[in-house]
Chain A
Amino acid sequence: MRFAYFSGTMYRRAVLGAEWPHPPETHSHETAQTVRARLERQARVADAAGFDWIALSELHARAFLSPNPIVMAANIAEWGLKAGVMLPILQVAGRDLAGLAEDLGALGHLLKGKLRFGLCSGQPSDAIVWGLSRADAEERVIEAAHFLARAWSEPRPFAWSGRHFERRQVAVWPQPYPGVSARPFICAVSVAEAEAAGRGGFGLGIEQIPLEAAERLADAYREAAEAAGRRTSPEDVYYLCETHVARDDAEAAAHLERYRLGILGNPLAGQTRRMRALRAALESDDAEDFNLLRFHGGPEAVAEGLQGAARRIGFGLVVSIFQGLRVPAEINEQSIHLFGSQVIPALAKASGRTGDAAS
């Protein structure tokens, strides 16, 4: 199993209300500098703790210091980390795909090949940013994955005429760094997306949804891959989830209560026709919000929780969101350190690997 430390470059929650889009006037350069310094410090803790990647988010019209993670990743290339960079939820909706292929190709070279990436349709608010329907946004993800795979394998310039993207001439420079996969993860929010990922030979990303539904999404992915004659492995599937590790369960419980950790939510909630259809497709009756902070406790409890989820869903990559925006820096850094020093080795041992779990 391999691990990514998910670092949102969020500005400062305390000054923002629930409104969206966040008004730019709430931005202050001093706060931005402080937040960025803290993000870097915590990424270094994660690097030292043995995470394989620093993962970055993408969100627009929100209080983020680097809404485009590719720009931030280029900056991280100069940090001198052992860990690589993972971009698990790149949005493709409003992007020029040839430009995206060029940027990812360039980034692979700047990071000396230590790059993984996934494509997604974004949050519902992002569909407003791009002026798209959700259905169109999801279709674009699939088309983008096929485009990238082709752009990085065609030796000669080619034309692309898809349903959502058109280019009369594509010639992507540079070609990818050796070892950087041209087949991205598709962070699926529907059965159709998971099946398309399986058929196309792409990876599958699963974000936050109830375990039963995640299991069905992963099953749909593997069945579609098998039907297309493709083999998959656990490393083809990542699971993005919220975690908090304390020295023991009692301390974690105290943190949960004191800092009100966790956000109530459920990406499958809602009574729109689309969400009902999605729940039906996933055979999930779970429309209730739940605490998205699913894996919390002492190292043993978190390792057990993740191991159980991995058995059900079959993922081999964990993209772990820590609680840096809610708890004091030292508590978050302890959580990252404990994850690296105790949870990762425990999971490696359980999966039959010895030595450095993150190697």
Chain B
Amino acid sequence: MKFSFFTGLVSRPRPGRVNWPVSPARFDQTAAEQALERFLHLFDLADRLGFDWLATPEHHALPFLVGDPLLIAAMLSRRGYRARIALLGLLVGGRDPALLAENVAAVDQLTGGNAVYGLFRGFANEQITFDVAPEDFRERQEEAVALLLRAWEEPEPFAWQGRHFARRSVSSWPRPVQNMSKAVLVTANSPDSARFAARRGLSVGIGHKTVEAAARLAALYREEAARAGWSPTPENILYHADVYVAAPGVDAWAEAERLGLGRLPNSLDGETPGRRRIRRALGETEPDAGRAVDRVMRFCGDPEAVTAQIAQARDQIGFGVLNGVFRAPGPAYEACVSSMTLFAEQVIPRLRESSGEA
């Protein structure tokens, strides 16, 4: 089992109305400098603590100091990390895939192939960012994935005439170091995307889903893969979830809520036609009930409790990579350091032991 440390390079905005897009007027230079310093400290620490991957996302029109993980990966490639740098993920539906193929390959060169790349779709607001109709976004992502994989493999220049992208000449330089079909994962946050990944023989990431919903998606992925003639292993499935570990005797849930962690809504909530359709396909008729913090914070407690929660989720979903989201907004920074340290020192060894890896 692999453990990924995930956090974003968020620059805490000045106080203001909570909305999207976040107004650039709320940018704070002092907070930006602190954010970069802390981000690098967290990644250095995560590497020393023995996390297998160091992961960061792509987001736009949100208070990120660096919203493009390619820049972060290019920078981090100089820091001599043992862990792999994970770009989770690149929002391929909104980018020019031919240009993205070059950039990813350049990063793969800079990291010496020590990186993984999530070819994802992003949040619903990302469709507005890129001015893409929601109905087109999945199709665009799938076409972009196909173009990317071809650009990395074709020895000669080729033309691409797709439904969403057209290029009369694609000749992608440099070449990536890795076999990219093994270095990428795609989203499986809906039945359609799980089927797409299975048909293409690609690894998947499932994120911001309850354990039950993720388990159904993973089962569907395995069924479709079997139909396509291959069998995914646990390492083909990444589960993305918020983690907060507190010392024994501390009420971790209350602490997480007090620190403002885990307030993102469940991605199956909401009454849009798309979300209702996904819930129906997964056999869920109602959005999740419960406290806001429950919805995104999956693994919360002392080391023993978190170990048990993750082990149970692993058995239900069958994932082999846990992408643990450790949020570190301003006041929660010290708590994040403590949480990730407890996780690395007390949760990871127990989980490795329980899966026979110790």
B109 contacts A107, CB within 8 Å? Answer: no
The answer to whether A169 has its CB under 8 Å from any CB of chain B is yes
| Cα separation A166 to B70 with both chains bound (whole Å) | 24
| Cα separation A23 to B169 with both chains bound (whole Å) | 11
- Which residues of B from 47 to 76 have beta carbons under 8 Å from A? 60-68, 70-72, 74-75
- Which residues of A from 58 to 97 have beta carbons under 8 Å from B? 60-68, 70-72, 74-75, 77-79, 94-96
Partner of A171, one of B21, B75, B110: B21
A174 contacts B27, CB within 8 Å? Answer: yes
- Residues of A near B29 (CB, < 8 A) are 175, 177-178
- Residues of B near A44 (CB, < 8 A) are none
- Besides A22-B173, A98-B60, 12 other CB < 8 A contacts? A23-B156, A24-B157, A61-B173, A67-B173, A71-B74, A75-B74, A78-B75, A78-B79, A96-B95, A106-B67, A171-B61, A175-B24
CB distance from B162 to the nearest CB of A (A): 13
A68 contacts B103, CB within 8 Å? Answer: yes
Closest partner residue, chain A, to B177 (CB atom):
A29
Give me the 4 closest cross-chain CB pairs, A-B, nearest first. Answer: A171-B21, A25-B155, A21-B171, A155-B25
Task: Using A174-B27, A175-B27 as known contacts, say yes or no to A71 and B154 having CB atoms under 8 A apart.
Answer: no
The answer to whether A321 has its CB under 8 Å from any CB of chain B is no
The answer to whether B189 has its CB under 8 Å from any CB of chain A is no
B167 contacts A70, CB within 8 Å? Answer: no
A171 contacts B24, CB within 8 Å? Answer: yes
B157 contacts A61, CB within 8 Å? Answer: yes
B60 contacts A102, CB within 8 Å? Answer: yes
The answer to whether A199 has its CB under 8 Å from any CB of chain B is no
B155 contacts A173, CB within 8 Å? Answer: no
A24 contacts B166, CB within 8 Å? Answer: no
A99 contacts B74, CB within 8 Å? Answer: no
A173 contacts B157, CB within 8 Å? Answer: no
Task: Using A64-B174, A173-B61 as known contacts, say yes or no to A99 and B95 having CB atoms under 8 A apart.
Answer: yes
Task: Using A61-B171, A173-B62 as known contacts, say yes or no to A107 and B71 having CB atoms under 8 A apart.
Answer: yes
- Residues of B near A124 (CB, < 8 A) are none
The answer to whether A156 has its CB under 8 Å from any CB of chain B is yes
Per-residue B-contact encoding for A247-263, CB less than 8 Å = 1, 0 else: 00000000000000000
Per-residue A-contact encoding for B152-173, CB less than 8 Å = 1, 0 else: 0011110000000011111111
- Which residues of B from 77 to 117 have beta carbons under 8 Å from A? 77-79, 94-96, 98-99, 102-103, 106-107, 109-110
A72 contacts B173, CB within 8 Å? Answer: no
- Residues of A near B107 (CB, < 8 A) are 71
The answer to whether A109 has its CB under 8 Å from any CB of chain B is yes
What is the interface of chain A mostly: helix, strand, loop, or mixed? loop
A68 contacts B60, CB within 8 Å? Answer: no
Partner of B173, one of A24, A128, A175: A24
Partner of A75, one of B110, B167, B170, B177: B110
- Which residues of B from 122 to 143 have beta carbons under 8 Å from A? 128-131
The answer to whether B209 has its CB under 8 Å from any CB of chain A is no
| Cα separation A304 to B172 with both chains bound (whole Å) | 42
Q: Taking each of B64, B72, B75, B154, which has the highest tally of chain A beta carbons within 10 Å of its own beta carbon?
A: B75
B32 contacts A79, CB within 8 Å? Answer: no
A129 contacts B68, CB within 8 Å? Answer: no
The answer to whether B175 has its CB under 8 Å from any CB of chain A is yes
| Cα separation A155 to B23 with both chains bound (whole Å) | 7
A-B contacts, 12 of them at CB < 8 A, read A27-B173, A60-B102, A63-B173, A68-B103, A70-B71, A75-B110, A96-B96, A106-B71, A131-B168, A154-B24, A169-B128, A173-B60
The answer to whether B22 has its CB under 8 Å from any CB of chain A is yes
| Cα separation A107 to B75 with both chains bound (whole Å) | 10
B102 contacts A67, CB within 8 Å? Answer: yes
The answer to whether A32 has its CB under 8 Å from any CB of chain B is yes
Task: Using A61-B169, A131-B168, A157-B21 as known contacts, say yes or no to A174 and B174 having CB atoms under 8 A apart.
Answer: no
Closest partner residue, chain A, to B36 (CB atom):
A109
The answer to whether B11 has its CB under 8 Å from any CB of chain A is yes
- Residues of A near B169 (CB, < 8 A) are 21, 61, 128-129
CB distance from A176 to the nearest CB of B (A): 9
Per-residue B-contact encoding for A135-151, CB less than 8 Å = 1, 0 else: 00000000000000000
- Residues of A near B109 (CB, < 8 A) are 29, 32, 36, 65-66
Partner of B23, one of A62, A157, A177: A157
CB distance from B120 to the nearest CB of A (A): 16
- Residues of B near A278 (CB, < 8 A) are none
B71 contacts A103, CB within 8 Å? Answer: yes
The answer to whether A11 has its CB under 8 Å from any CB of chain B is yes
A174 contacts B175, CB within 8 Å? Answer: no
Q: Taking each of A110, A131, A171, A175, which has the highest tally of chain B beta carbons within 10 Å of its own beta carbon?
A: A171
Task: Using A99-B60, A174-B65 as known contacts, say yes or no to A110 and B71 having CB atoms under 8 A apart.
Answer: yes
Partner of A169, one of B21, B99, B155: B21
B78 contacts A75, CB within 8 Å? Answer: yes
- Residues of A near B60 (CB, < 8 A) are 98-99, 102, 173
The answer to whether A167 has its CB under 8 Å from any CB of chain B is yes
The answer to whether A1 has its CB under 8 Å from any CB of chain B is no
- Which residues of A from 91 to 139 have beta carbons under 8 Å from B? 94-96, 98-99, 102-103, 106-107, 109-110, 128-129, 131
CB distance from A195 to the nearest CB of B (A): 30
- Residues of B near A129 (CB, < 8 A) are 98, 167, 169
CB distance from B128 to the nearest CB of A (A): 6
The answer to whether A172 has its CB under 8 Å from any CB of chain B is yes
A131 contacts B11, CB within 8 Å? Answer: no
| Cα separation A177 to B64 with both chains bound (whole Å) | 14
Task: Using A71-B106, A96-B95, A109-B36 as known contacts, say yes or no to A156 and B25 having CB atoms under 8 A apart.
Answer: yes
The answer to whether A168 has its CB under 8 Å from any CB of chain B is yes
- Residues of B near A168 (CB, < 8 A) are 128, 131
- Residues of B near A107 (CB, < 8 A) are 71
- Residues of B near A78 (CB, < 8 A) are 75, 78-79
